[in-house]
Amino acid sequence: MIRKPLKSLLIPLFVALLLIAGVTPSVRGFFQQSYSLKELQSQKLNWEVCYASFKCATLKVPVDYNHVGKDFFHLKVLKHEATDPAKRIGSIVVNPGGPGGSGFDYAYNAEYIVSQEINQRFDIVGFDPRGVNLSDPIRCLSDKQEDIYLASDGKAGTSAEEAQLISAAKMFAVACAKVAGKRLGHYSTVETAKDMEILRSALGEDKLNYLGKSYGTFLGTLYASLYPQHVGHFVLDGAVDPNVSIRNQNLVQARGFDLALTDFFKQTKSVTKAQLVKLLAQAETHPMSGNDKRIVTPALLITAVASALYDPQEGWPRLASALAKAITTSNGQLLLDLADEYSHRDANGRYTDNQDDISQVISCLDFRDSRTLAQIKSDEPVFAQTAPIFGPFLTYAGLTCHYWPTEVVAFPKPLSHLKTPPILIIGVTADPATPYEWALSLHKAFPSSTLLTFNGDGHTGHNRGSACIDSRVDAYFLTGKTPNGPVSCSA
């Protein structure tokens, strides 16, 4: 089975408990030198055996591509080698999403994320992007601060709640600036796409083969816009529309989660939507607690619900049980468990990685909401009407970025008419996190793309049990051939 399934805002992660691979003296010497961008682009990876059957290496990339000096990120890379070396085709770089998801951990689960035939013919390679997990991670808040930050009310129904949101946003921005220092403006997806080009070269590949899910589709799109000549076989699953505004991102995603919640209640018999609405109201004034007296705030309750909605097979039954227990016993421990898995918090109150922090750092460098606070507030009724459950909690999403002390790292907009070899885009009709309309938009942005539609619930379509989807992904990686036109699939 897949090791320790966790969830992020945009994509489920399959994270293993890993140790940082050691660095040989020769590699240490490499890190101590000053290199030009051309020399960095020609570096070779020094692979070492790790975790018994994998290979690990470290890739050196500049912090600032505009001023390559003595400051570098050291990106951790993991490779699951092709199991049939005689028939090896090349490498596939994988990214599970996020932002802030660990590609290193994702590749560690290569046996489970792609088919046996793909594992036989390809090296599966994953890396932790700059600032993520094992790659010079940035952690803005302590565990206790993280608890307070994530539990704080995510909506602003009153002036006091609005003031609390603003205070928390400012606190987070100041904390990150203090920790990151001069690196604060250099955790963007544009820069990670440039890092991926250095990785392609270091792998010795003329073309980059890539499997990106959710946020990973945005990373793949930026790479394709920067390096179309090096695009190999690209599969973008759970597509993100790179041209949609922050306001509309939040609004469409809120609607997606509400629609998934409606589907959930159609299938479960143990709880009702009215009971969830009542729990959310009670959480405002008389919140329940878990086994250790930890309070289930409205923000943690809605996080628990979101966490489960990604996965109809396992998440939905767990959500039904958690809500039923909360309703019948006023014990919210199962809800806290779901929320903690979403945030990567262990039973001892420790956060096992830095994804909560780095995801916001990356987001603030990629996008910035152009609305004023007054305009955001005026949108409250629109969000609440469009998505009564999730809308109020996503109205102010991205507020931290209003107080970010560095500028957005620009990328060409709109991203359209991207000229690449044929690629595959996968969209799920009832995806709560990356709505199907985003897949349609990304399909239009890549004239050479073929759209595979998964008719169903849950997040992303590949490796979800649909032979219709999976066989076409495999055939594409193995032969480069895409279907003659759009394909509609079911589980």
Task: Tell me which residues are annotated as active site.
Answer: 214, 431, 459
Report residue 79 as tokens.
Answer: 């490779």
**Residue 294: CB atoms within 10 Å:** 17
**406-to-186, 243, 364 alpha-carbon distances in Å:** 9, 21, 9
d(CA 478, CA 447): 22
d(CA 231, CA 227): 7
DSSP assignment letter at 291: T
Residue pointed to by tokens 């601060």: 145
DSSP assignment letter at 349: S
- Asked whether the beta carbons of 178 and 147 are under 8 A apart, the reply is no
d(CA 268, CA 178): 47
How deeply is 74 buried, as exposed, middle or buried, from its count of CB atoms within 10 A (0-12, 13-18, 19+)?
Answer: middle
d(CA 21, CA 365): 29
How deeply is 33 buried, as exposed, middle or buried, from its count of CB atoms within 10 A (0-12, 13-18, 19+)?
Answer: exposed
- Asked whether the beta carbons of 17 and 221 are under 8 A apart, the reply is no
What DSSP string describes 305-344?
HHHHHT-TTTHHHHHHHHHHHHHHH-B-HHHHHHHHHHHT
* SS3 state at 143: helix
DSSP assignment letter at 22: P
Nearest to 310 by CA among 436, 431, 438, 391: 431
Residue 358, φ and ψ in degrees, nearest 5:
-65, -30
- Asked whether the beta carbons of 436 and 428 are under 8 A apart, the reply is yes
Residue type for position 412: P
Q: Where are the beta strands (DSSP E) in 183-337?
A: 208-213, 231-237
* SS3 state at 295: strand
Cα 230 to the center of its chain, rounded Å: 24
Contacts of 39 (CB under 8 A, 6+ apart): none
How deeply is 437 buried, as exposed, middle or buried, from its count of CB atoms within 10 A (0-12, 13-18, 19+)?
Answer: middle
d(CA 408, CA 411): 9
